[in-house]
Chains A and B, each alone.
Chain A
Amino acid sequence: MLGPGGIVDDVLQDVFVQFYNSLQSFRGDSSVKTYLNRIAVNKSLDILRRRKRSLKRFVGLDDTHEAELVDGSSSLPDLDRTVWKAIAGLSENQRAVVTLRLVEGYSTEETAEMLGIKYGTVLSRLNRACNNLKEVLRPLQGE
């Protein structure tokens, strides 16, 4: 969801620390994996919103997709840089849906529950995100 970069490691560490601190309030209604994913998604959304604000302020809206890739992507192949640039073009909410639904493989219902949104909202965000991604990613499929 955040793409490559050192911030991922910080978020991961924060997720486990927060999970440890909230163990007493964890009622076991959902699986530990779902609970951890929910914390991670919320933290990632916070970071993406902050990142967007600062990039808009300092870089300018047109260059934000490229600017997001500066941290941590230099060691990745060109194919991955194209993928992350396409992901950076999505809104934070669309990224969350794509991550949970397409990458993690959660159902639409589980994704809706984790993000605290309606079932139909997940479908519409996923549809918009797929429409944005398919044109960019089509040449990469099968590589």
Chain B
Amino acid sequence: MGIDKGHLGNNGDRKGESFDEIEMGIREVLIPAATRAAEVSVRPFLADRVLKAVKTPNVVRSGADVWFDSLFAWFRPVALASLILIAVLVSYNVKSAAEYDLSVSLSESVLGLPPVTLETAYELTDE
């Protein structure tokens, strides 16, 4: 971020909010320190480096980006296979329920649940 030296000695900002005495005192120390830090921190030829980075986009990609891209690539075939499997299981369950004439509801037949009556629930067998 650029340091606007014009703020030094200015007792207010662009919206007319004034700085109190404490804030002004801190600004007097902070702004020159920030200016000097910027001078030693920014290497020369920044514009050249930015242009070079812009011309070669997406060369360096983070590990997270690569991982998410591979997840997206995997997602479509996995989702399609899962849908086909679910459709096969549902049709098999519905067909079986009709074939054995099980008196179950539609949701039970879709999910392949066995008919449970009060009588079968209390049946004390080892099955």
Contacts and interface: CB of A to CB of B under 8 A. Distances in A.
Nearest to B50: A16
Contacts of B26: 98, 102, 130, 133-134, 137
Contact of B29 (A13, A36, A72, A137): A137
A13 to B, nearest CB: 6
B41 A9 contact: yes
A17 interface: yes
A116 to B, nearest CB: 17
Given A72-B40, A134-B25, A137-B25, A104 B46 contact: no
Given A8-B42, A16-B50, A105 B7 contact: yes
B86 interface: no
B1 interface: yes
A104 B4 contact: yes
B31 A103 contact: yes
Given A13-B46, A72-B41, A79 B33 contact: yes
Contacts of B43: 6, 9
A1 interface: yes
Given A12-B46, A13-B46, A107-B15, A134 B41 contact: no
A20 interface: yes
If over half of B's interface residues share one DSSP class (helix, strand or loop), that class is named, otherwise mixed; here it is: helix
Q: How large is the interface on A (under 10, 10 to 19, 20 to 34, 35 or more residues)?
A: 35 or more
B29 A141 contact: yes
Given A6-B41, A137-B26, A107 B46 contact: no
A140 interface: yes
Interface string A126-137: 100010011001
Interface of A: 1, 3-9, 12-13, 16-17, 20-21, 33, 36-37, 40-41, 72, 75-77, 79-80, 83-84, 87, 98-99, 102-110, 126, 130, 133-134, 137-138, 140-142
13 contacts: A1-B1, A4-B40, A6-B41, A8-B42, A9-B43, A13-B50, A16-B50, A17-B57, A20-B54, A41-B1, A75-B40, A80-B36, A103-B27
